[in-house]
């Protein structure tokens, strides 16, 4: 089946073909580093991780650019409130952002350009718009004239009939009702403190929208394949990006626009006032592992709202245990006879996994195939109908889908020999009826993420998820 995505621009599921044959160029809107990122942000970044991992699975080379917004109203306000420089303030959240990405197993983009080091590119773009008569200046501020760009509204499908000619807005975020000429460059004023750049446009700083137009085109070219963000980015941010880029170049900016629906918490919009607002760090601090959070963020289709619940985290943990136990036990299985069924099961899973993801990244369908496969291979094992070669092909199939899912527990530094030694020590203590020592060893292992299980055939262990 051909790879298809729902394109916000066309409102239909369209077959995906990159502009260059084997190479996908994609841009995803990144964090504004004024605070720790929240789990809603990571819902969007996780969808983008699925997208880039799956494109690579399909054999494409991917060049992925994600911006870091390190100058805007919120970062300036934050740094001034703490009386530190803008850089010092944003550095802390930049670092935290990358730590969080790593914790969640989100693959790194190829390039993370920062707004503050790309001011000349933004100035150049504003000047191109001025030269074409699409931008104009008022008191050192520069605005985009939407009346000069007839295609304005093509992404968000907004109705411009009620628009007042010449109305202007300077804030970066606003509702559709306030559609109007928007700021490309903002003249310095006292509220900006010592944050400004002296440029050919005068003393000031860029608007948020111009940042993404300038940095995406710098690294990906005037026209590229995919642009993503959460649904809140459609208007005004992405609408404005199209206007700026296509206004300046006269070329089509992006072929595919993909947007993820928002995450809500326990059925309600996430908000500090509802007391249901969480950063990733807060969720991990409650004892949930990053892998469990990864699984919850990944496994709802990106075009559906994700209802994040604590029950959902527990269910995800069980499914992950099943997947990990399966993989570990398969590795320990010596192999038996072959009934020839295993290859059918393996191939059916791989084909189903791909068909589902080809269909607009249907992750639930893909996972359904994976869990059917686990059930069937376990059955073949129990029936002694899985040969060593078939076992190895089943392991290879899991390794293949793992490049997309990334659900296997990582080694956590506790060596198997160390574990075996401690289990022996515990068994010795139990033999001597020294249960205090035996329990102490069990707790010590548990603290290090190792769970013991006493079975008739001896003590087994596994890593906690």
Which residues lie near Zn ion (CB under 5 A)?
A: 29, 212
| Strand-pair category, 224-230 with 197-199 | unpaired
Which among Zn ion, ligand AMP, none contacts residue 145 (Cβ within 5 to 8 A by kind)?
A: none
What's the min distance (Å) between Cβ of 27 and ligand AMP? 11
Any contact of residue 32 with ligand AMP (CB under 6 A)?
A: yes
Give the per-residue contact string, 51-90, with ligand AMP (x = CB under 6 A; - = no). ----------------------------------------
Decide whether 89 or 149 has the Cβ nearer to ligand AMP.
Answer: 89
- What single DSSP character describes residue 369? H
As measured in angstroms, the least distance from the Cβ of 287 to ligand AMP is: 23
Measured CA to CA, the distance from residue 430 to residue 411 in angstroms comes to 28
Q: Is 422 helix (H, G, I), strand (E, B) or coil?
A: helix
41 lines the binding site for ligand AMP (CB under 6 A) = yes
CA–CA distance, 370 with 260 (Å, rounded to integer): 24
> DSSP characters for 49-90?
HHHHHHHHHTT-EEEEEE-BB--SHHHHHHHHHHTS-HHHHH
What is the C-alpha to C-alpha distance for residues 426 and 460, in angstroms, rounded to an integer?
12
400 makes contact, choosing from ligand AMP, Zn ion, none, with CB < 5 to 8 Å by partner type, with none
Instruction: State the number of binding residues for ligand AMP (CB under 6 A).
Output: 14
Alpha carbon distance 464, 409 (integer Å) = 9
424: three-class secondary structure by DSSP: helix
Contacts of 131 (CB under 8 A, 6+ apart): none
- What minimum distance in Å lies between the beta carbon of 78 and ligand AMP? 13
Binding residue for ligand AMP, selected from 3, 24, 29, 465, defined by CB under 6 A: 29
Which of 230, 256, 288, 289 binds ligand AMP (CB under 6 A)? It is 230
From the list Zn ion, ligand AMP, none, partner contacted by residue 41 (C-beta under 5 to 8 A by kind) = ligand AMP
Q: Which is nearer to Zn ion, 212 or 374 (CB)?
A: 212
Q: Is 153 in the site for ligand AMP (CB under 6 A)?
A: no
Q: Which stretch binds ligand AMP (CB under 6 A): 152-160, 229-237, 329-337, 351-359?
A: 229-237
Task: Identify the residue among 18, 31, 236, 247 touching ligand AMP (CB under 6 A).
Answer: 31
Nearest to 57 by CA among 6, 107, 110: 107
3-state per-residue secondary structure call for 389-420: HHHHHHHHHHHHHHHHHCCCCCCCCCCHHHHH
CB of 45 vs Zn ion, minimal distance in Å: 13
- Give whichever of 262 and 464 is closer to ligand AMP, judged by the CB atom: 262
263 is an interface residue for ligand AMP by CB under 6 A: yes
- 293 is a contact residue toward ligand AMP (CB under 6 A): no
Contact between 262 and ligand AMP by CB under 6 A: the answer reads yes
State the residue number with the nearest CB to ligand AMP.
230
Distance of CA 134 to the CA centre of its chain: 34
For the bound state, the minimum distance from the C-beta of residue 282 to ligand AMP, rounded and expressed in Å, comes to: 15
Distance CA 141, CA 15 (A): 42
Chosen from ligand AMP, Zn ion, none, partner binding at 44 (C-beta under 5 to 8 Å by type)? ligand AMP
Query: How many residues in total does the chain contain?
Result: 465
Of 25, 43, 64, 186, which lies in the binding site for ligand AMP, with binding defined by CB under 6 A?
43
User: Of 126, 115, 145, 131, which Cα lies nearest the Cα of 201?
Assistant: 126
Q: Which of 254, 270, 361, 404 binds ligand AMP (CB under 6 A)?
A: 270
Helix or strand or coil: residue 363?
helix
Between 297 and 401, whose beta carbon lies closer to ligand AMP? 297
Q: Which residue's CB is nearer to ligand AMP, number 68 or number 319?
A: 68
Where are the strands (E) in 263-418, listed by range?
263-265, 268-269, 306-308
- With CB cut-offs between 5 and 8 Å by kind, which of ligand AMP, Zn ion, none does residue 212 bind? Zn ion
CA distance 226 to 64: 9
DSSP string computed for 144-178: E-GGG-TTTTTTT----TTPPTT-EE-SS---GGG
Q: Taking CB within 5 to 8 Å according to partner kind, which of Zn ion, ligand AMP, none is near residue 32?
A: ligand AMP
What does the binding site for ligand AMP look like in residue numbers (CB under 6 A)?
A: 29, 31-32, 40-41, 43-44, 229-230, 232-233, 262-263, 270
């Amino acid at each position: 089946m051909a790879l298809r995505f729902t394109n916000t621009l066309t409102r239909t599921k369209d077959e995906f073909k990159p502009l260059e044959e084997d190479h996908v160029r994609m841009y995803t809107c990144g964090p504004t580093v004024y605070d720790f990122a929240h789990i809603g942000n990571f819902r969007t970044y996780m969808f983008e991780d699925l997208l880039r991992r799956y494109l690579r699975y399909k054999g494409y080379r991917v060049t992925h650019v994600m911006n870091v917004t390190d100058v805007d109203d919120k970062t300036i306000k934050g740094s001034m409130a703490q009386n530190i420089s803008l850089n010092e303030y944003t550095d802390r959240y930049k670092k935290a952002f990358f730590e969080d990405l790593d914790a969640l197993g989100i693959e790194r983009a190829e390039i993370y350009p920062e707004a503050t080091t790309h001011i000349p590119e933004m100035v150049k773009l504003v000047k191109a718009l001025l030269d074409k008569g699409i931008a104009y200046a008022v008191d050192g501020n520069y605005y985009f004239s939407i009346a000069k760009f007839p295609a304005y509204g093509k992404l968000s499908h907004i109705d411009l009939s009620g628009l007042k000619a010449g109305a202007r807005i300077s804030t970066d975020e606003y509702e559709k009702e306030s559609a109007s000429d928007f700021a490309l460059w903002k003249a310095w004023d006292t509220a900006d403190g010592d944050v400004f750049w002296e440029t050919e446009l005068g003393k000031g700083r860029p608007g948020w929208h111009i940042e993404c137009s300038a940095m995406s085109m710098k690294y990906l070219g005037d026209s590229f394949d995919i642009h993503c963000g959460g649904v809140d980015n459609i208007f005004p941010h992405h609408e404005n990006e199209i206007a700026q880029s296509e206004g300046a170049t006269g070329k089509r900016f992006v072929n595919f626009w993909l947007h993820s629906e928002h995450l809500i918490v326990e059925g309600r919009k996430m908000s500090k006032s509802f007391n249901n607002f969480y950063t990733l760090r807060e969720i991990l601090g409650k004892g949930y592992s990053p892998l469990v959070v990864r699984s919850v963020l990944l496994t709802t289709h990106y075009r559906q709202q994700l209802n994040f619940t604590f029950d959902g985290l527990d269910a995800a943990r069980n499914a992950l245990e099943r997947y990990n136990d399966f993989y570990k036990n398969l590795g320990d299985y010596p192999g038996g006879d072959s009934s020839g069924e295993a290859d059918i099961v393996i191939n059916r899973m791989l084909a189903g996994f791909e068909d589902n993801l080809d269909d607009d990244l249907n992750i639930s369908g893909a996972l359904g195939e994976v869990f059917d496969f686990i059930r069937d291979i376990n059955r073949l094992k129990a029936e002694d109908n899985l040969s060593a070669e078939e076992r190895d092909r089943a392991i290879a199939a899991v390794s293949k889908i793992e490049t997309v899912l990334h659900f296997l527990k990582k080694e956590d530094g506790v060596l198997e020999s160390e574990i075996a030694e401690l289990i022996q020590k515990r068994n010795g203590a139990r033999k001597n009826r020294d249960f205090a020592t035996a329990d102490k060893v069990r707790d010590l292992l548990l603290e290090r993420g190792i769970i013991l299980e006493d079975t008739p055939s001896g003590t087994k262990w596994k890593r906690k998820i």
